[in-house]
Amino acid sequence: MRGANVKYLYVIFTSEIIGMDIKNNILETIGNTPLIRLNKLTKDLPCTVLAKVEYFNPGNSIKDRMALKMVEVAEQEGRLKPGGTIIECTSGNTGMGLALAAVVKGYKCIFTTTDKQSKEKIDILKALGAEVIVCPTNVEPEDPHSYYSVARRLAKEIPNSFHANQYDNLANRQAHYETTGPEIWRQTDGKVTHLVVATGTGGTVTGTAMFLKEKNPKIQVWAMDPYGSLLTKYFRTGEVDMNEVHPYISEGIGEDFVPGNYNMKYVDVFQQVTDKDAAIMARRIAKEEGLFCGYSAGTAVQGLLQLKDLLKKDDLVVVILHDHGSRYVGKVYNDQWMMERGFLDVKTFKDIISGRGAKRLITADPDQTVGEAFELMQKYNVENLPVLQQGEPIGAISESGLFARMMSNGQDIKGKKIAEVLEKPYPIVSFDTPLERLSTLITRENGAVLAKDDSGNYHIVTKYDVIHALGS
């Protein structure tokens, strides 16, 4: 009886498991990403714009789709055998997808990438057990040191290896023909009129377009390309012009050759976007739509806005947001990185000084009396006085600090030397320190910061300066 009860309970338990929505492994979560309406960024457009948010894939990018497909096809064709090594040149996202497949299926991974890719991408690949080889960016594709060439060489040298070759492997575009295109068609009830994609290998734009144009040949496909890539000119002229190629910062898109996954007859428009505009737009997508996306998403949305005059009221636009912003926290989402490249118009210490006009710094000497300091504060209407000795700050006095000392001591301190009531020196920063950083340095106890200009003169920014700057 006892044994029968155990058997009965087991049957109930297993039947419940069968009825649950449980994935067998992480690969089964790839695809079926949501469409999310864009509202603020597209408010001046006459039509509806929907974002296909691909960072909902487990590897946080659209590349999961084609990575799994390339592995599956290679297995079916016998090019990838048990215990084998997957080799690929990648900007990071394809490697992530391949690494996930390798973990589940039991393969090794060796990836080559370029030195312009974010450190976050490289670290993530290593976290999944992959070996990563960093190669120079500014070399020709056929150069033996390029990440393309190194991957090809390793595939020849390492036994039982499979070179995925996302650029020419047609399983790349097949993945999007089988998944991305049908999802968009189903999610829009067949009403999609435009597909907008930032392009690199050509797999996403071609594969998705192939499916959608089979359903409706009138659907417009717009490909977005960074300056420095030759794809736009190739689309327009059929010419592979290496004079078009120059280094660019955008990651994962654009090419210095034409990958085999492209079939340009499925693309209606190619539009180029600058590195700066793409980076700024990526940050806007995050701040205005709450979608924390990468560089290529910025390119796609910016390109769409550049072509807004081609849109009509009844259009339904789907724009691909390719990957997650976490891959770019050290670049696009880093104020200092953006400022160094002239991408970010951020108010700095220098801007605050320039905005309030030429005002000399009012300072005190340690041998002056507190009474004399009070007179200076009243005369020049300031609350914070740096105390200088031989031209360099040794401390400070403030109206609030002096008042607190008078109240606690219960005595008149006007006759005391400033040296006797000295407060801590104000922090010294560089002239290009962003306003946001200044606001963290100025506290109740510390009412100002100093910076030295190119002539060696000190300037002061107080909490009131920061408040005024933030409000302007």
| Tens-digit pLDDT profile for residues 113-131 | 988 877 888 898 999 999 9
* pTM recorded for the entire structure: 0.75
Both 313 and 399 in one domain: the answer is no
* Domain C-terminal end among 132, 163, 194: 163
pLDDT band at 2 (very low <50, low <70, confident <90, very high): very low
Please indicate, yes or no, whether residues 243 and 136 belong to a single structural domain of this protein.
no
* Closest C-alpha to 163, from 288, 54, 71: 71
Examine residue 330 and state whether it is found in any structural domain, yes or no.
yes
Is 11 contained in some domain?
no
State whether 314 and 214 are in the same domain: yes
Average model confidence (pLDDT) for the chain? 90
Regarding whether 294 and 198 lie in a shared domain, the answer is: yes
Whether residue 289 is found in the same domain as residue 195: yes
Query: Tell me: the pLDDT tens digits for 206-265?
Result: 999 999 999 999 999 999 999 999 999 999 999 999 989 988 888 889 998 999 999 999
Q: Does 217 map to a domain?
A: yes
- pLDDT greater than 90 at residue 134: yes
**Same domain, yes or no, for 271 and 308?**
yes
User: Considering the domain boundaries, does residue 155 fall inside one?
Assistant: yes
Whether residue 77 sits in one domain with residue 106 = yes
Closest by Cα among 31, 372, 19 to 177: 31
Q: Which domain holds residue 332?
A: 26-58+175-340
CATH number, domain with residue 301? 3.40.50.1100
Q: Is residue 9 part of a domain?
A: no
d(CA 187, CA 33): 10
Closest CA to 398 of 382, 415, 416, 380: 382
Q: Same domain, yes or no, for 249 and 191?
A: yes
> What was the pLDDT predicted at 409?
66
Q: What is the pLDDT of residues 334-343, one digit of tens each?
A: 887 887 888 8
212 and 144 part of one domain: no
Mean pLDDT of 360-382: 90
State which amino acid sits at residue 140.
E
With cut-offs at 50, 70 and 90, classify the pLDDT of residue 9. very low
The one catalytic residue in 7, 23, 43, 63 is: 63
pLDDT at 6 exceeding the cut of 70: no
For residues 283 and 181, state if they share a domain.
yes
Residue 1, domain member (yes or no): no
287 and 229 belong to one structural domain:
yes
Of 163, 198, 216, which closes a domain? 163
H, E, C per residue of the chain: CHHHHHHHHHHHHHHHHHHCCCCCCHHHHCCCCCEEECCCCCCCCCCEEEEEEHHHCCCCECHHHHHHHHHHHHHHCCCCCCCCEEEEECCCHHHHHHHHHHHHHCCEEEEEEECCCCHHHHHHHHHCCCEEEEECCCCCCCCCCCHHHHHHHHHHHCCCEEECCCCCCCHHHHHHHHHHHHHHHHHCCCCCCEEEEECCCCHHHHHHHHHHHHHCCCCEEEEEEEECECHHHHHHHCCCCHHHCCCCCCCCCCCCCCCCCCCHHHCCEEEEECHHHHHHHHHHHHHHHCCCECHHHHHHHHHHHHCHHHCCCCCEEEEEECEEHHHHCCCCCCHHHHHHCCCCCCCEHHHHHHHCCCCCCCCECCCCEHHHHHHHHHHHCCCEEEEEECCEEEEEEEHHHHHHHHHHHCCCCCCCEHHHHCECCCCEECCCCEHHHHHHHCCCCCCEEEEECCCCCEEEEEHHHHHHHHHC
Is residue 440 within 8 Å of residue 461, measured between CB atoms?
A: no
Decide if 15 is inside a domain: no
Read off the pLDDT band of 434 (50, 70, 90).
Answer: confident
The last residue of one of the domains, among 307, 340, 373, is 340
CA 320, 322, 324, 329 dihedral sign is negative
User: In CATH, what number is assigned to the domain containing residue 409?
Assistant: 3.10.580.10
Same domain, 238 and 302: yes
How many domains are contained in the chain?
Answer: 3
Confidence bin at 413 (pLDDT 50/70/90): confident
pLDDT value, residue 472:
56
Residue 350 a catalytic site member = no
Residue 398: inside a domain = yes
At 343-355, the pLDDT tens digits run: 877 678 888 888 7
